[in-house]
Amino acid sequence: MSRLLLAAFAAVLMLCPPPAPAQAQAPPPPPGIEAGDAQAPVPRAIDAADLSAYVDGLVESAMRRDGIAGVTVAVVDREGPLLLRGYGIAAQAPQRAVDPAGTLFRIGSVSKTFTSLLALELVDEGRLDLDAPANDYLPEALRLPDDGLPPVLVRHLFTHTAGFEDSALGHLFVDRADAVPSLEDYLARHRPRRVRAPGKVAVYSNYSLGLLGAIVARARGAAFEELAERRLFAPLGMRLTTFREPLATGDARRAGAALEGRWSQGYLRQGGGFAPQHFEYIAHVAPAGSASSTADDMGRYLRMLLRGGELDGARVLAPSAHARLFGPSLFRNAPQTGGFSYGFFDWNLGATRVLAHGGSTGWFHSMLMLAPEEGVGIFVSTNTDTGRGLATQLPARVLERYFERARAPAARAAAVDTARFAGSYTGMRRNYTSAEKVFTGTTIDVEAAGDGVLVASGGGQARRLLAEGGLVFREAEGAGRVVFREDGQGRIIGFHDSAGHDSFERTRPWRGKPALVLALALAGAVSLLVLAGGWLRRDRRDKAGPPARRAAFWMYVSALAWLGFCAGLLWYAKCATGDPELVFYRYPGALLTVLLWSVPLLYLLVLVDAWHLGAAWRARGWGPGRRLRHVLAVLVWVAAAVALWDWNLVGWKL
């Protein structure tokens, strides 16, 4: 699959934090700074000159290696900025350099930390009960239906444990300023199905944070964008941070004139250069990811969090709310994996606790990381599709360089039989009930590579996992831990990822995407062979009786239908690979819609062919070879039909 289409899928799975280390249960955090000593001088944790040289080297090397147009970075401690730097370009025509104090980068799911802090305030004030049903706080149009599962609680929205499937294609991003629905309309129209009981496992959900934002707006009686400005951005002096976008004139969410010309362009690395991309509109699900900001503003945000909720005399978070944020995690999939703490991922780097969140759109990749015990916060954002690696790695690299506690000790594999862990695993962050199923879900192939060593491959990358004992494995080149799961009979059925925002289920070979591709490829090949055989026999008189000739006739009709369907799918795949926006913005599109609504005809033809199998098998004028080929062709089409059903590739499941 081309990098163009991979970029599109990365974006529609959006706002998704880049993979990052997540380890053992965090130690109790130090108390926040009290208002009375907020201005007390604190020794600088990092030498600014050395930091500047180090970060310059990291960023400039990555920009050359990966082809990144622009980067913005902030590193701060409680006293102020240690580094504010812009690298490369924000626009080409006319050329505009990245300004860390003036260039707006799209920060994707880092937006969720703002939303969660606004909701945390309500929890701290007693106006929002973590253990109350979310429906108690939602307007009628947004209330979740009673679908036989326990109710979704408010805490489940904070921790991504509501049990929603993932749905994104064709609606999570919009490419026209005049076609962006309201938050309420979007949440009502694009509600994903609940596919598991709430509170059981954390699986990342943009929809959950959209609902949480709607709850906050309703409780405060104000539009979400206005609320964020009034309660967070204005008090913090974050004058260039906004959930607003350059929408159509008359839209109440439209960004003001003060922000015009400040957004960085998003870029696709292509042909040795940078192809500018159009603006990605996310205002319809703003609480989950529409925010834009500068490195300077994000540095102020980090300093407020490091200073106990106060900055420059303005208290944004009450001490009690700040204590909740820095207290124990609200949820972890396993004690050794990352957890959730009011909108932040709760991870460990070595022995250092960090609160973090990443975010990605199609072209921008960002990471925010806060190390409370070390008193340092880091923010980085890139404006090119190739910038994910730099955004993911830079904050951890900085902390590991300057704080020994953040460095993971050398790992050695324990003596564990790894054969039982080998297999193919599919992420639970996927669609289950619609045709989106085939486009979503990360697949990881795990292979045993010696005593106590596994190799996990997926997404074009591979990592070695070293056994620590039991069901826990640690990354050989990092400190992240994955924890496998077993059933009552001791069989491995899945694993929790290290970051804590997804869990993987073991996939049987016949249920994976390769099996779907194989089934459709065989269906197309068999159809071609059937038609070729008919053409070669066109001048021969068929000595079989009428029932067998009818079986042959319907066989040729089925072959034409299956060949046309498979050719159509190949054409769609070619178009989607060359133009990822076909899936990104215009899903399902006319071609895929026609193809999937033709599937019922294929099912009908399969039934007709199956009905005529007896006549074909008893045909006296056919040799054993032809009878066997006829039966095998029908069986191949039956297998392909089952695969299409299993993957929801049928019109009414679009």
Provide the annotated active-site residues.
109, 204
3-state secondary structure at position 646: helix
How many angstroms separate the CA atoms of 463 and 424, rounded? 15
Give the side-chain half-sphere CA count within 13 A for 441: 25
- Grouping H, G, I as helix, E, B as strand and the rest as coil, residue 133 is strand
Taking the C-alpha atoms of residue 174 and residue 181, their distance in angstroms, rounded to an integer, is 9
Cβ contacts of 441-446, under 8 Å, gap ≥ 24: 441/166, 442/502, 442/504, 443/507, 443/512, 443/513, 444/504, 446/421, 446/422
Tokens 């980090």, residue?
302
| Location of structure tokens 């059933």 | 487
Q: How far apart are CA 141 and CA 102, in angstroms?
A: 39
Helices 48-66 and 388-402: crossing angle in degrees, nearest 10, is 150
Closest C-alpha to 185, from 122, 253, 280: 253
Q: Which two tokens stand for residue 203?
A: 């699986």
Token readout for 201 is: 């496992």
Q: How many angstroms separate the CA atoms of 470 and 455, rounded?
A: 17
SS3 360: strand
Calpha distance 259→241 (Å, rounded): 9
Phi, psi values for residue 240, rounded to 5°: -115, 25
Q: How far apart are CA 373 and CA 528, in angstroms?
A: 66
How far is C-alpha 23 from the geometric centre of its chain's CA atoms?
Answer: 20
Q: Give kind and range of the element (H or E) at residue 332.
A: strand 331-332
CA–CA distance, 426 with 396 (Å, rounded to integer): 27
Query: Helix or strand or coil: residue 601?
Result: helix
Question: What is the token pair recorded at 558?
Answer: 């089925």
Other Cβ atoms less than 10 A from the Cβ of 622: the count is: 20
Could you tell me which residues are beta bridge partners of residue 277?
266
Residues 138, 210: Cα–Cα separation, whole Å = 12
Of 190, 187, 171, nearest in space to 179 by CA: 171
What Rg do the C-alpha atoms of the chain give, in angstroms? 27
Q: Residue 504 belongs to what H/E stretch?
A: strand 503-507
